[in-house]
Structure 1
Amino acid sequence: MTPVRALAGVDLLIGIDDTDDLYSPGTGRRARQLLDELTKAGLGTPAGATRHQLLVDDRIPYTTHNSSACIAWRSAVGNPDAVVAEVIRFSGEFLERVCPPAADPGLVVAIPHRILDTPALVEFGRQAKLEVLRTEDAWKLGAALGVHISGHGGTQDGVLGALAGVGLHLSGNDGLFIDMPGLHDLPSESTIDDLRRLVGIDDARDSAQRRPEPDEPIELSDWVRPVLLEGRAVLLLDPPWDLADGRRAWRTAPRYVVKRY
């Protein structure tokens, strides 16, 4: 197994949720925008942002899909303590600036190695995929774990999804990458070695655990989203087919398969 590259050096996690209404950009787009603005502000470099699907239930107020986002961040000097306060301030002001009045945005910022009970946070994220949780439980858990949790408009109910998104990202086995360096500038075809240089994924494989050889072509759709599996950015592929020269050819798995994660 190749060493982890995509998330190596990540020392801050930034969760956001409930950032939109029916007429404004969704949380995924806001996460990509925040990632870009944090980069321009010189506060570090992004490893990526992941989307996490939470429970869809009529008892839960959500706009369209009830998904939250988590940004995986590398601090500017490899020392999260040097930038965490500014990241919190910057991210909170960003949400207050871009979110519409009907939104209920929440923000969570965590230094992974400082979380007092990581398994509890992961379990909270898993519960948010299966049952209706209470916002007050998110406030209590965030405070108990020593992570930053804050609301930035409306009911502030987005703190629940923001905290769950961080927990699910920490699980290493949930969600898909909606952004990572190079992801939106890929060619229509590549090889696994070139892909790793272009976008820094950790692995590419099909459902039978087959992997492309270095010289085998991979067709890339216009919607490429690695998923988070075993703490790695994994590009899901369809089963290969044989070429006339004896090599196999591959293509990325369709959207409906990727979104199961």
Structure 2
Amino acid sequence: MKHISPLDPDLLLIGVEDTDVEGAELGTGKITRLLKTVLPAGAEMVGVVRHQFLMVPEIPYTSWNSPACAIVRLSDPGLLPRIAEATRTHVRALASEGSDPGICLSLVRDVSSEVMAHGVDCRRRVLTQADAIRIGKGLILEGLGGDNGGIIGALGAVGLTAHGWCGRFIEVSALEGRPLDNSVAELAACGVRLAVMERDAPPPLDEDRVVVADQFRPVLLGGMPVLMVHEAAPGRWETKPWPKRKP
């Protein structure tokens, strides 16, 4: 089964940001997940990561200032222009009227340390479109409407995903349709690792069971989807439910 490899340089990252307005039915995360429906043959969506950026009055955002980044496996890097066009059309069609959508596309190997640093900076200070344009030079970075402000977060989402140590998966394609009770070996075959939260817990064995509390929401650690688990009983590991976000 195909899955995400740690910092695989041939993966394509597609950052999307600022596609909705208050009350919109489709937020940025859903629009990014739906990219899988428009990818050409030879391009396979393997995951979508949500990032959380700085929330201050100086930054316009709808609710959470959270861009998304699709991770796509390509059979041929020559597909990039077709995927870029499909992404433009898709985001333009689904973005809310009055939003300021932006997209960024790059292979992992083309993401510079400066772009990664831009992603980290999106979490701690106010940045401008001029910053994004300067730092993202050479990548596909485009505003698709409004004031084009989404390019800042789209570039940041690509940078943080390539960085590999920040973000929460809102989709891992290899986990679709799987039950919430799996063996460690079954999850490993899907490319999902475990991180044990107890100090003195033993290492999980292949035959151990892993029970997910509500839904699969691994975090991005070391370029891979990782489930944070605790030992519920010998041979049994559990995740804790994600806390509800305050409106």
User: Which TM-score applies when normalising by structure 1?
Assistant: 0.85
Residues 137-180 of structure 1: CA distance to partner in whole angstroms, max 9, x if unpaired?
1112112xx10110111111000000000000011100011112
* Partner secondary structure for residue 63 of structure 2: coil
- Is the Cα–Cα contact under 8 Å of residues 43 and 87 in structure 1 kept in the other structure? no
Whole-angstrom CA distance in 2 between matches of 1:111 and 1:200: 20
Q: Partner amino acid for 2:37?
A: D
* Partner secondary structure for residue 84 of structure 1: helix
Structure 1: unaligned runs, 5 residues or longer: none
Residues 61-113 of structure 1: CA distance to partner in whole angstroms, max 9, x if unpaired?
000110111111111x3x31x11111111101111111111111001011222
Runs of 4+ aligned residues of structure 1 deviating over 6 Å after TM superposition are none
Which of 231, 236, 241 matches 1:240? 231
Aligned-residue sequence identity (percent) comes to 29
> Could you say which residue in structure 1 is the equivalent of 2:81?
85
- Is the Cα–Cα contact under 8 Å of residues 9 and 74 in structure 1 kept in the other structure? no
- Deviation of residue 214 (structure 1)? 2.1
Structure 2: unaligned runs, 5 residues or longer: none
- Which region of structure 1 is more displaced relative to structure 2, 132-141 or 168-177? 132-141
Which of 173, 195, 211 matches 1:205? 195
Q: Partner amino acid for 2:33?
A: R
Whole-angstrom CA distance in 2 between matches of 1:12 and 1:194: 25
> Could you say which residue in structure 2 is the equivalent of 1:51?
50
Q: Show the 5 A alignment for 1:10-29.
A: 10-24=10-24, 25-29=26-30
Whole-angstrom CA distance in 2 between matches of 1:185 and 1:32: 16
- Deviation of residue 132 (structure 1)? 0.8
Residues 107-147 of structure 1: CA distance to partner in whole angstroms, max 9, x if unpaired?
101122234xx11111101110001111221112112xx10
- Is the Cα–Cα contact under 8 Å of residues 101 and 151 in structure 2 kept in the other structure? yes
Q: Show the 5 A alignment for 1:1-150.
A: 5-7=3-5, 8=8, 10-24=10-24, 25-38=26-39, 41-75=40-74, 77=75, 79-80=76-77, 82-115=78-111, 118-143=112-137, 146-150=138-142
- Is the Cα–Cα contact under 8 Å of residues 68 and 157 in structure 2 kept in the other structure? yes
* Partner secondary structure for residue 204 of structure 2: coil
Whole-angstrom CA distance in 1 between matches of 2:216 and 2:64: 20
- Structure with greater helix percent: 1
- Deviation of residue 43 (structure 1)? 4.4
Residues 32-73 of structure 1: CA distance to partner in whole angstroms, max 9, x if unpaired?
0012321xx324112211111100111110001101111111
Whole-angstrom CA distance in 2 between matches of 1:193 and 1:48: 20
- Deviation of residue 9 (structure 1)? 6.8
Q: Partner amino acid for 1:193?
A: A
- Deviation of residue 12 (structure 1)? 1.4
Whole-angstrom CA distance in 1 between matches of 2:10 and 2:243: 29
- Which region of structure 1 is more displaced relative to structure 2, 214-223 or 63-72? 214-223
User: Which TM-score applies when normalising by structure 2?
Assistant: 0.89
- Is the Cα–Cα contact under 8 Å of residues 10 and 73 in structure 1 kept in the other structure? no
Count of aligned positions: 239
- Deviation of residue 5 (structure 1)? 4.9
Whole-angstrom CA distance in 2 between matches of 1:177 and 1:33: 15
* Partner secondary structure for residue 169 of structure 2: strand
